[in-house]
Amino acid sequence: MRSLFYILSAMMVIGLAFWAYRENYETQEAQAEAEQLQREISLARQRLRVLNAEWAYLNRPDRLRDLADLNFDKLGLLPLQPYQFGRIDQVAFPEDDKLPVLNPVDVSNMDEEAAQ
Amino acid sequence: MIRTPLRPLARILDARAKGENPDAIERENIRIRHEEMRDRARKRAEGRLLVLGVMFTCAFIVIGGRMGVLANSEPSEPRTSVAGAQILAQRADIVDRKGRILATNFETHSLYAQPPQMIEPERAARELAKIFPDLKEERLLKDFTGKRKFLWVKKKLSPEQKQAVHDIGEPGLLFGPREMRLYPNGKLAAHVLGGASFGREGVHAAEVIGVAGIEKFYDDRLRDPALGHKPLELSLDLSVQAATERVLHGGMSLMNAKGAAAILMDVKSGEVISIASLPDFDPNARPRPPTEGNPGDSPLFNRAVQGVYELGSTFKIFAVAQAMELGLINPDTMIDTKGPLRWGKHRIRDFRNYGSELSTTKVIVKSSNIGTARIAQMIGVERQKQFLESLGFFKPTPLEIVEAEGGKPLLPPKWSELSTMTISYGHGLSTSPMHLAAGYATLANGGNRVVPTLLKQEGPATGPRVLSRASAQKSLTMLRKVVTEGTASFGDVPGYAVGGKTGTADKPKERGGGYYEDKVIATFATVFPAHDPKYVLVVTLDEPVETSGDEPRRTAGWTAVPVAAEIIRRVAPLLGLRPEIEPGELADITLTSN
């Protein structure tokens, strides 16, 4: 009985040691992966900042104004004017299309049929 | 253990035979036994002490060793936390009220040289001078071949320049990463943003510090790592600001002015929607302050906030509003305008003779100096001082840029009755256009004090009441009449019911001794829409001349007013104001405050 107990505890110690060993390596792996992801996130954010800055630079009002002037023939863009505000009742209702007739009834010769 | 008996029979018998006391043997044995026990106990205690000592020594060694390791090792970021990813930029962005970027950071590189590591200093100097035309080859060669161990060649490089330098292939030329401040919109809102430069510089990084404007005012906030990912939201609107600057620039050159300023402010919250001062500069390459000439003419000078000017007749409405508030007059009270008005050896004149008397409304509409001076006389020195102070005319505006401190109003050294009279029509008290805008915003929002701010506000701010709603309303009606039938007839923008007051003030000579004959500051302070005020616009032109007529015209009605009207025409749709038909005047109904 006692020897069985000793063997069992020895096996348990070995098992736990093996488990701890594996957990240790898994944790290290996860940490390395997290670090890698952090690095990627920060690189992506850095890139996002650069793209944001570039977007802001390309959309600076001076440039847009010049582009609007250059492409006036094509786009015809002008500064917003007060008269361009519309009201909702100025918008026409869409024309309501008649529903298509799927089973036409011929009424021209109904009388003839009744007469027969 | 075998216990020795206390009374060993052999010795007892022996002692009895000799006639000795056998008890002595017992006592002797007890003594010996006790001594043995004592020795054993001592030994055990000593052993325990030793173990304890060893344990403590080990613990102290471990703690000490750990402390030593912590103190000597390089600090490293926690590997598993997510907080680290937030901190990226060493300086927070600045954005406008709709989140569009006004200032951001940009990764770039600086170029430095370590001459001892150089292989071909001559060639390096030659090639560098080719890449950067502003560097002198001789100077570089002297630095590279001299005794210097380290020198900065360029603070900021573009990627193309970096590649070109890289292609030289000189191991003594090295790059350090830099974060530089970028203002993608160029000159836009230059005076608000100010500029930034490098503080302490190292090879691996450099501090970016604000040198002017809001960058300097909020330097600590922008550099705070905990707030690095949160942009600073301004009240400015990028498109409105661009349109304002554009129109103002056009107006300034049309009116031959040497400078101009415009402020557009929300009357309820005090938010500055756009603020322009011309001439301006590019904050990406902020020029050095001028060493000669008038600092007020430098592009760095913020005319809207730093410049204090006598703003002329735009002040008249404050005297009238206060007199109405005190119940001294009402819009129809007749005021004596017989001129010239003498006070001591001084005479107050009007631009034209307006007859012997005018109603209060007409005094404002026609802009009569004499009429306003008479009203100011009724108010008196103390009450006028108190009222102007409550509107914030005595202190620099608390705007969030460092230059605002410089816009300290110039008050008369001795506030006599004459000062009261001249100040009522805007002479003798110099304030910045920003003060004026805040004052008009107070009238426009129904009499609550407005504190101008550059930060986006959550909602309307309710300052302390300085004027009753009824008086403010009556003043607005007068301002509207100035545009419909008075001096600012060019200021009418259909659909936006502009109300405002013109002001043309002669410029005082820099060296003292009176005023220039032919140099004026023309100002137009407007409120729109007058029946439901939302915005205040102040336009100031420095030395404008309008030359389309037979003789040069300098009055604000011919110069500042058309510019302001054009700004409103352009900006109001951008602000989402839809043109409205002005409600007609209702007879016999007066608004009263509760």
Q: What is the DSSP letter of B426?
A: T
Q: Which of B79, B100, B104 sits opposite A31 (nearest CB)?
A: B79
- pLDDT classification of B183: cutoffs 50, 70, 90: very high
Same domain for B180 and B262, yes or no, is no
Both tokens of B335, joined, read: 């005021």
B249 close contact with A: CB closer than 8 A: no
Do A61 and B88 count as a contact with CB atoms less than 8 A apart? no
Contacts of A56 in chain B (CB under 8 A): 100-101, 104, 184-185
Whether chain B has a CB inside 8 Å of the CB on A78: the answer is no
pLDDT at residue B140, as a whole number: 86
Q: In terms of CA atoms, which chain B residue is nearest residue A60?
A: B185
| Residues B494-512: tens digit of each pLDDT | 889 899 999 988 888 877 7
Higher-pLDDT residue of B407 and B31 is: B31
Q: Does B582 reach chain A within 8 Å, measured CB to CB?
A: no
The ipTM of this complex is 0.73
Task: Give the residue from B209, B233, B257 where a domain finishes.
Answer: B233
The 10s digit of each residue's pLDDT in B187-245 is 999 999 988 888 888 877 788 888 899 999 999 998 888 887 788 999 999 999 999 99
- Please check whether residue B41 lies inside any domain of the structure: no
The whole-angstrom separation of Cα B101 and Cα B91 is 14
For B482, the domain range is: 239-287+294-574
Distance (Å, whole) CA B317 – CA B361: 10
Q: What would the 3-class secondary structure string for B368-419 be? A: CHHHHHHHHHHHCHHHHHHHHHHCCCCCCCCCCCHHHHHCCCECCCCCCHHH
CATH no. for residue B97? 3.90.1310.10
For the residues A51-71, what does the mean pLDDT come to? 91
Predicted pLDDT at A30: 92
Judge whether B282 lies within some domain.
yes
CA distance B365 to B488: 9
First CA to last CA distance, chain A: 113
Whether residues B254 and B185 fall in one domain: no
pLDDT for B204 equals 79
* B258 shares a domain with B184: no
User: Among residues 43-62 of chain A, which lie with CB inside 8 Å of chain B?
Assistant: 45-46, 49-50, 52-53, 55-57, 59-62
Report the residue of chain A nearest B108, measured CA to CA.
Answer: A50
Q: How far apart are CA B366 and CA B350, in angstroms?
A: 10
- Residue B467, domain member (yes or no): yes
User: Is A35 close to B79, i.e. CB distance below 8 A?
Assistant: yes
Which residues of A are less than 8 Å from B572 in CB distance?
82
Place of tokens 């050159």: B253
State the pLDDT at residue B590. 54
Q: How far is CA B465 from CA B82, B461, B471, B476, in A?
A: 49, 12, 12, 17
For chain B, positions 304-363, list CB contacts with chain A under 8 A: none
CATH number, domain of B421, equals 3.40.710.10
Same domain, B269 and B137: no
Q: Which of B84, B88, B573 is nearest residue A80 as measured by Cβ atoms? A: B573
Is residue B508 situated within a structural domain? yes
Q: Cα(B591)–Cα(A35) distance, rounded to whole angstroms?
A: 68
pLDDT at B75: 78
Share of chain B above pLDDT 90, in %: 37
Residue B593 has pLDDT above 80, yes or no: no
Residue-level pLDDT at B1 = 61
What is the predicted pLDDT for the residue at B591?
Answer: 55
Q: Is the pLDDT reported for residue B11 higher than 90? A: no
Residues 79-118 (B) with a CB less than 8 A from some CB of A: 79-80, 84-85, 88-89, 100-101, 104-107
**B-chain residues within 8 Å CB-CB of A60?**
184-186, 188
Residues 6+ apart with CB under 8 A from B395: B408, B409
Considering only CA atoms, which of B493, B500, B563, B574 is closest in space to residue B261? B563
Relative to beta strand B232-233, strand B94-95 is: parallel
Q: Which residues of B touch A50 (CB under 8 A)?
A: 106-107
In a domain, B25, yes or no: no
pTM given for the model = 0.78
| Smallest Cα distance from B454 to chain A, Å | 20
Question: For chain B, how many structural domains are there in total?
Answer: 2
Average pLDDT, chain B: 87
The pLDDT of residue B229 is 79
CB contact under 8 A, A53 and B101: yes
What is the pLDDT confidence band of residue A105, given thresholds at 50, 70 and 90?
Answer: confident
Asked if residue B243 and residue B201 are part of one domain, the reply reads no
Q: Examine residue B33 and state whether it is found in any structural domain, yes or no.
A: no
pLDDT at A115: 56
B363 assigned to some structural domain: yes
- Chain B nearest C-alpha distance from A77 (Å): 14
B226 and B347 in a single domain? The answer is: no
B354 with B424, same domain? Answer: yes
The answer to whether B104 contacts A81, with C-beta atoms less than 8 Å apart, is no
The number of C-beta contacts closer than 8 angstroms across A and B is 74
Instruction: Tell me which H or E stretch contains B152.
Output: strand B151-157
Using 50, 70 and 90 to split pLDDT, how confident is the model at A111?
low
pLDDT for res A48:
87
Residues B314 and B454 reside in one and the same domain: yes
Out of B126-135, B226-235, B286-295, B360-369, pick the least confident. B286-295
Task: State the helix-helix crossing angle for B316-325 and B369-379, rounded to 10 degrees.
Answer: 40
Q: CA nearest B327: which of B183, B225, B216, B471?
A: B471
Same domain, B133 and B165: yes
Give the CA distances from residue B306 to residues B166, B219, B296, B406, B430, in Å, rounded to whole numbers and listed in that order. Answer: 46, 20, 9, 5, 11
Question: Which candidate in B76, B81, B98, B106 is best for mutational testing of the A interface (most A CBs within 10 A)?
Answer: B106
Task: Give the gyration radius of chain B's Cα atoms.
Answer: 41
Same domain? For B270 and B400 the reply is: yes
Q: Is residue A80 predicted with pLDDT exceeding 90?
A: no
B485 and B388 housed in the same domain: yes
Nearest of B330, B335, B331 to residue B350 by alpha carbon:
B335
- What DSSP state is assigned to residue B569? H
The string of DSSP codes covering B181-220 is EE-TTTTTTHHHH-EEEEEEE-SS-EEEEEEEHHHHHTHH
A110 pLDDT band, cuts 50/70/90, is: low
Same domain membership, residue B258 and residue B227:
no
Task: State the nearest Cα–Cα gap between A66 and chain B, in angstroms.
Answer: 12
Q: Do A80 and B496 touch (CB under 8 A)?
A: no
Question: Residue B481: which of B308, B347, B323, B331 has the closest Cα?
Answer: B331
Conformation bin of residue B588: beta by default, left when phi > 0, alpha when psi is -120 to 50: left
Residue A112 has pLDDT above 70, yes or no: no
Q: Is residue B16 part of a domain?
A: no
Q: Using CA atoms, how far apart are residues B262 and B560, in angstroms rounded to an integer?
A: 10
pLDDT at B307 over 70: yes
Q: Find, among B239, B184, B265, the residue nearest to B454 by Cα.
A: B265
- Which residues in B lie closer than 8 A to residue A55 (C-beta atoms)? 101
**What pLDDT does B179 receive?**
84
Q: What is the mean pLDDT of residues A18-36?
A: 93
Whether the Cβ atoms of residue B85 and residue A38 lie closer than 8 Å to each other: yes
**pLDDT over 90 (residue B525):** yes
- Tens of pLDDT, residues B543-582: 998 888 788 888 888 899 999 999 999 999 999 888 888 7
State the pLDDT confidence band at B260, using cuts at 50, 70 and 90: very high
Q: What's the pLDDT at B88? A: 58
Among A37, A62, A64, most B C-beta atoms within 10 A, so best to mutate, is: A62
Segment B333-362, tens digit of pLDDT: 888 888 778 888 888 888 778 888 889 898
